[in-house]
Amino acid sequence: MTCNDCRPLLTDYAHHELDDAQDARVFEHLQECAQCRAAAQAEADLTDSIRYAYSDDLEMPQSIVANVRMAMRGYSPSLLERARAALRPAFIAPAAAVVLIVAGALRYGPGMLHPASSQLSSSYFVRQHVAQTLGSPASDRSWSAYVLTSENARSAQPGAQ
């Protein structure tokens, strides 16, 4: 192995992503080449300083847990399933959001719905809905890519049952 062969492999080598044969050849070359060894060390140093920069482990704010709980109040899987089955994939997410809000309102009644929770969840959904409606087609695609996994998407397609 020459230095020119070795250098482009060093990032993958540092991440243990070379196949065994290549890994062994790079390892061998590093034993005999000080320059490539220095380059390999530079790769490792870069990773170390990235980790150092990101070494803080922040506590998750407890408000997140509370807000998620509030947003999930009134969640009705059966209603959501019906919405999924009835609507085309691109419209499912906003529709599901509406279903969630409606289901929540029906279950708890307007008077019992905590003002903060209704404000929070609806602002989320409205924001998402606005993003969907105004947003690029790419945003719709990505939405369906991660909200509807392949399984959901299939079952939501008309006539896919």
Q: In sequence order, which residues have a C-beta less than 8 Å from that of residue 10 and are 6 or more positions away?
A: 26, 36, 39, 40, 43
The pair of structure tokens assigned to 56 is: 């803080």
Choice between 50 and 111, CB closer to other proteins: 50
109 near other proteins, rule: CB under 8 A = no
Q: Which does 33 bind (CB under 5 to 8 A by kind): Zn ion, other proteins, none?
A: Zn ion
136 near other proteins, rule: CB under 8 A = yes
The pair of structure tokens assigned to 105 is: 């309102």
Single out the segment in contact with other proteins by CB under 8 A; choices: 23-31, 33-41, 49-57, 106-114.
49-57
Choice between 33 and 39, CB closer to other proteins: 39
Find the binding residues for Zn ion in span 15-34 (CB under 5 A): 33
19 near other proteins, rule: CB under 8 A = no
Distance CA(3)–CA(7), nearest Å, equals: 6
Choice between 50 and 116, CB closer to other proteins: 50
Neighbours of 19 (CB within 10 A): 8
Chain positions contacting other proteins, by CB under 8 A: 11-12, 15, 17, 43, 46-47, 49-61, 63-65, 67-68, 71-72, 75, 80, 96, 100, 124, 131, 134-136, 138-139, 142-143, 145-149, 151-152
